[in-house]
Amino acid sequence: MKVSIVIPTYNEAPNIAELVARISDATTNYDAEIIFVDDSSDDTPQVIVHVGNTARLPVRIIHRSTPIGGLAGAVLAGIAASGGKWCIVMDGDLQHPPEMIPILLAAAASEHADVVVASRNLDGGSSGGLAGISRHIVSNAANLLTRAMFPVRLQNCTDPMTGFFAVRRATIDVSVLQPRGFKILLEILVRNTVTVAEEPFVFGERQAGVSKADFRQGVRFVTQLAALRFGRVSGFATIGAAGAVANLIIMAGLQALGVWYIAAAIIFAAVTIVGNFLLQERFVFRDLRGPAASGYIRFARFFAFNGIEATVRTAVLWAVVATAALPEIATQAVLIGIGFILRFVHHSQRGTSMAVWSPRGPHKSLHAKSLGRE
């Protein structure tokens, strides 16, 4: 059986020699190769090349000078470059024991599975290698939250957060995966229909280097969950809600400085429209900027759609305040809430988003698919 072991690395030079040696010993009965996908800023690439020159197995390295998608993106790059029927995905820090590789492959054969997960949460498994009680609490909480959000897709997986698993290359569609941060297995299980088996494993202690988990990775994980569960609508709603709050704060501040409320409403509308466009470009529709029209055209479309809405809202604000003598800020808050709901519904039906980020030429079918629920 042809097997590709895909290992994303970031500054793991001290672990490479032992890792390659142990993988070689564990795969003597397989036609195996090792693919390192490296995003390091130290001498890890040179160490990989040096170790690979004397290794029993073929060792390849993909060094990404401009990493995209974090660790998950590195895994996808390795899978895409693999030549094996099966891909084993594991970390380069020796916390995933290479001796588990034949166990995972044996389970795949005996249970006719597409994905075999090395689970810390089965009897016989353990997450003892996590450093500190806080890491254990965060890991367990994330696991519970993830399984609660995807009860059907993850019904046969006790550890969707693990980075150690085997996957049958032909059963996953790499093109539908949208890597963010660390949790590539979650992407695979949620976006593909696969048969899952599990084997218990003990998560080992780190031998060298430092953990890459930090607050930023936590934010990426929450963003990934929201995108998987709700699609682009989640990012659109978050940015829109933040813009609504900013609107009211700016308007109140300008009024406190003596600015007429209508002028304040116009100013904050312009500021928040620009801010919303930049945030949606960066965080919601980043992957569609290439096939879509130029940035200037996208901005003009976005400003036109939202400018019309802001003009109508401001006119209604003036009419209500002038006739009913209601407080300006309270009235504006109600109108912004109504506008937010209408924009949300319109966006959910591929309205503004399709018009603003409409692709050019042959990308249209891809774009239409990507705007839906992910």
Same domain, 316 and 363: yes
Instruction: Among 228, 254, 276, identify where a domain stops.
Output: 228
Per-residue pLDDT, 367:
37
| Cβ 243 vs Cβ 357: under 8 Å | no
Per-residue pLDDT, 366:
36
Mean pLDDT of 232-261: 73
Instruction: Grade residue 54 by pLDDT with cuts at 50, 70 and 90.
Output: very high
Radius of gyration of the chain (CA): 25
pLDDT for residue 221 is more than 70? no
Mean pLDDT of 71-82: 88
Whose tokens are 């290439």? That residue is: 290
Same domain, 67 and 109: yes
Q: Which of 126-135, 155-164, 353-362 has the lowest mean pLDDT?
A: 353-362
DSSP 109-126: HHHT-SEEEEESSSTT-B
Backbone torsion region of residue 94, taken as left when φ is above 0, otherwise alpha when ψ lies between -120 and 50, otherwise beta: left
Tell me the average pLDDT of the chain: 78
Per-residue pLDDT, 362:
43
Instruction: Grade residue 8 by pLDDT with cuts at 50, 70 and 90.
Output: very high
Same domain, 29 and 140: yes
Per-residue pLDDT, 21:
96
Same domain, 332 and 210: no
Same domain, 215 and 270: no
Higher-pLDDT residue of 19 and 325 is 19
pLDDT for residue 223 is more than 50? yes
CA atoms within 13 A on the CB side of 333: 9
Instruction: Grade residue 364 by pLDDT with cuts at 50, 70 and 90.
Output: very low
Per-residue pLDDT, 102:
96
Query: 286: closest CA among 251, 235, 321?
Result: 235
Per-residue pLDDT, 267:
84
Q: Which residues pair with 63 in a beta bridge?
A: 38
pLDDT for residue 88 is more than 90? yes
Sheet holding 59-63, edge to edge: 59-63, 31-38, 2-9, 86-89, 165-168, 115-119, 196-200
Per-residue pLDDT, 265:
83
Mean pLDDT of 16-27: 95
Same domain, 135 and 20: yes
Same domain, 148 and 256: no
Q: Which CATH number covers residue 55?
A: 3.90.550.10
Same domain, 161 and 239: no
Query: 24: closest CA among 52, 62, 63, 61?
Result: 52
Same domain, 291 and 200: no
pLDDT for residue 131 is more than 60? no
DSSP 276-321: HHHHHHHHTSGGGTTTB--HHHHHHHHHHHHHHHHHHHHHHHHHHH
Per-residue pLDDT, 356:
59
Instruction: Grade residue 189 by pLDDT with cuts at 50, 70 and 90.
Output: confident
Mean pLDDT of 226-235: 57
Does this model's pTM top 0.75?
A: no
Whose tokens are 């800023």? That residue is: 41
Same domain, 325 and 209: no
Burial 52-91 (b: 16+ CB within 10 A, else e): beebebebbbbeeeebebbbbbbbbbbbeebebebbbbbb
Per-residue pLDDT, 68:
76
pLDDT for residue 90 is more than 90? yes
Instruction: Give how many domains the chain has, as a whole number.
Output: 2
Provide the pairing of β-strand 165-168 with 115-119. antiparallel
Instruction: Among 228, 255, 272, identify where a domain stops.
Output: 228
Instruction: Grade residue 199 by pLDDT with cuts at 50, 70 and 90.
Output: very high
Mean pLDDT of 343-367: 50
Higher-pLDDT residue of 234 and 196 is 196
Instruction: Grade residue 370 by pLDDT with cuts at 50, 70 and 90.
Output: very low
Same domain, 316 and 364: yes
Same domain, 208 and 301: no
Higher-pLDDT residue of 48 and 141 is 48
In eight-state DSSP terms, residue 358 is P
Report the sign of the C-alpha dihedral through residues 72, 77, 6, 206, in that order. negative
Burial 296-310 (b: 16+ CB within 10 A, else e): eebbebbbebbeebb
Per-residue pLDDT, 231:
56
Instruction: Among 228, 250, 271, identify where a domain stops.
Output: 228
Per-residue pLDDT, 229:
56
Q: Which of 18-22, 155-159, 250-254 has the lowest mean pLDDT?
A: 250-254
Range of the domain at 174: 2-228
Mean pLDDT of 175-190: 75
